[in-house]
Structure 1
Amino acid sequence: MNKIDIHLNFNYLLFDIGNPSDGVSFFIIQGLTSLGDKQMILFVFLLLGYIIILGGNSMIIFVVQALTDPKLSSPMYFFLSNLSFVDMFYTTTTIPKMLSSFLSDTTTISFLGCFLQMHFFVYLSVTSRAILTVMAFDRYVAICNPLRYTSIMTWPTRLLLIAGAWSFSTFCTLPPVIITWMEPYCGPNVVRHGWCDLSSVRQLACADTSVDNIVSLSFALVALLTTGVLILTSYVLIGFSIWMKGVTQRLKAFRTCAAHLTVVTISYTSSSFVYISYRDYQQDDVRIIVAVVYAVLTPFLNPVIYSLRNKELRDSIRRTLSRFRSAVSATKDINTVS
């Protein structure tokens, strides 16, 4: 028995565990195979971006959670570390599989693995927006109710807000994924995307998916509109609050919100481009590249934006790197003396 037979047998075993249909046992991810040798250029950029995403977001989590810096003890940094955690795992659901697909002729994924990837990709995407909504509320309280900020944003309140963000994303993502999973799949099994995208997999179902499309669209609108309206409302209230204040206070409020507002703008703008590409472009490569950029852009820019816009975080990262270099130098000196 060769390696291919072993691989297919393993996929059929997973199929028996998780596939409710009697046809497809695994999916083939089309990816960007039509690019040929040019795939390696995208491979290099994607690999470098993934390394920066893991490194930058890990650094934020470390300096906020592991270090006892009183300047980073505010609720804003607690929410930021949660956002970094989500961004790391959000990109991990798709990028490693895509990187491996660039190095192989055919990329397969089991039926169960496909739907797990689909679920966590959509789930973490909605969770990141829910956390951005929580951060918008935090900025609203900090600017509009500064005297009551510490009494409102207590530790139980922070945990409740984060739990609410994760629960909201569960509510919005589980129904569309479950009804898509319950559809029969009898072939073909080629997913015309870079990963197990919800709409791309649903097109392979051997049944009428009009109800599935309505359900998915409904929950997508709930996720996008709820978070978008709440974020917009927070900033409208912030705008009214600082309208009558002096120039100095306005600039201070703007600096407080600049990083978060920049991330929100990039996130919703890039998602709009993904929607346009799905509607207006029939070429698979265009849709996949736009989707990849969307999946990587915000997690890539989050640590960069917050590090550049936030002095306390930037200084903490600089001190951490300085201590790390000093420790490495001390270790080298000890080894040299020995």
Structure 2
Amino acid sequence: MEGFNQTRVTEFVFLGLTDNCILEMLSLVAFSTTYVLTLFGNLLIVVTIIFTPRLHAPMYFFLSNLSFIDICHSSVTVPKMLEGFLLERKTISFDACIAQLFFLHLFACAEIFLLTIMAYDRYVAICTPLHYSTVMNMQVCVQLVFALWLGGTIHSLVQTFLTTRLPYCGPNIVDSYFCDVPSVIKLACTDTYLTGALIVSNSGTISLICFLALVTSYTVILVSLWKQSAEGRRKALSTCTAHFTVVTLFFGPCIFLYTRPDTSFSIDKVVAVFYTVITPLLNPLIYTLRNEEVKSSMKQLRQCQCSVIEKKH
């Protein structure tokens, strides 16, 4: 045991996205801007929903939770990535790496479950509108959100356990800009085939099953829309299109990355950037640009703030 402790890896070194100095500076500016906009956009949605009584409905309750998760999800990886653009040697301690891995999977899994719940919410609202207020009351919504966080925590604990149970005695070079299970277990000093299979059965299966459930829900919704009026069909299609766009943007990279942990491609880093950096920014844009109620609520909130400031002066 003593010999194991002496050779145990204490830190990991990231290769980052690129080793070109010019590209690193350009990436620093681009991703810094993206991160700030992500924080501002999602925080604006959360504040707008909290301070607008007419938005205190299940759909917007879930949307505010989605924005909160996106803030947390991007904050797990982006700050460390931005720091790496400024450093020649990009390192992270073993404990910090495991913590990053844990929270990455916690927020990613929570978002997967939340998007599935949001699809169910739209299914109930469109296919059984007379029972909607009974089926999706706020008590049920709170219970569903609690369940998704519990499920995300259990999933993340499993992923963390599978990673930390392996011995790490070198090498310590991670071909990425953040710690994730597939990239870290490759560095273990033992055969990781079984662990890789367990990852597929956990992360990959969750992503794939939830995505298939979502596709089924939206297919049923589209079929039922033909029975509704033109105006009702237009409004429902607008909402469902926004939801399904977010689902595709998030689930696509997750399924691509986590259903094949033993195989890596050169495009993996680009895909990872998309779902850890770009998607959290696109979510508020997609939902606000396609939702007139949210946009009007933001305008009213801004007008109220301006009126308060004028009165103070």
Report the CA distance shift for 1:288/1:330 in structure 2 as closer, same or farther (over 3 A).
Answer: farther
In structure 1, the residue matched to 2:269 is 288
CA distance in 1, matches of 2:173, 2:92: 10
What is the aligned-residue RMSD (CA, Å)? 2.4
In structure 1, the residue matched to 2:65 is 82
In structure 2, the residue matched to 1:169 is 152
In structure 1, the residue matched to 2:33 is 48
Higher deviation after alignment, 314-323 or 39-48: 314-323
CA distance in 1, matches of 2:207, 2:6: 32
In structure 1, the residue matched to 2:95 is 112
Aligned partners of 2:126 and 2:236 also within 8 Å: yes
**Is 1:154 aligned to residue 137 of structure 2?**
yes
Aligned partners of 1:176 and 1:212 also within 8 Å: no
Q: Which amino acid aligns with 2:294?
A: L
In structure 1, the residue matched to 2:85 is 102
Deviation at 1:73, TM superposition (A): 1.2
Alignment match of 2:197 (pick from 198, 205, 214): 214
SS of the aligned residue for 1:244 comes to coil
Alignment match of 1:322 (pick from 296, 303, 307): 303
CA distance in 2, matches of 1:303, 1:278: 30
CA distance in 2, matches of 1:20, 1:119: 23
Alignment match of 2:45 (pick from 33, 46, 60): 60
Q: Percent identity?
A: 37
Map Cα deviations across residues 116-138 of structure 1 (whole Å, 9 max, x no partner).
10111122111111101111111
Runs of 5+ consecutive residues of structure 2 not aligned to the other structure: none
**Is 1:299 aligned to residue 280 of structure 2?**
yes
CA distance in 2, matches of 1:179, 1:193: 20
Map Cα deviations across residues 86-114 of structure 1 (whole Å, 9 max, x no partner).
11000000000010111111122111110
Aligned partners of 1:64 and 1:78 also within 8 Å: yes
CA distance in 2, matches of 1:150, 1:20: 58
- Which of these two proteins has the greater Rg computed from alpha carbons? 1
Aligned partners of 1:22 and 1:186 also within 8 Å: yes
Aligned partners of 1:136 and 1:235 also within 8 Å: yes
CA distance in 2, matches of 1:78, 1:126: 18
CA distance in 2, matches of 1:150, 1:95: 39
CA distance in 2, matches of 1:47, 1:32: 15
CA distance in 2, matches of 1:277, 1:304: 31
SS of the aligned residue for 1:93 comes to helix
SS of the aligned residue for 1:27 comes to strand
CA distance in 2, matches of 1:274, 1:191: 16
Map 1:150-299; keep pairs closer than 5 Å. 150-271=133-254, 274=257, 282-283=265-266, 286-299=267-280
Deviation at 1:22, TM superposition (A): 4.3
CA distance in 2, matches of 1:31, 1:143: 45
SS of the aligned residue for 2:59 comes to helix
CA distance in 1, matches of 2:302, 2:260: 41
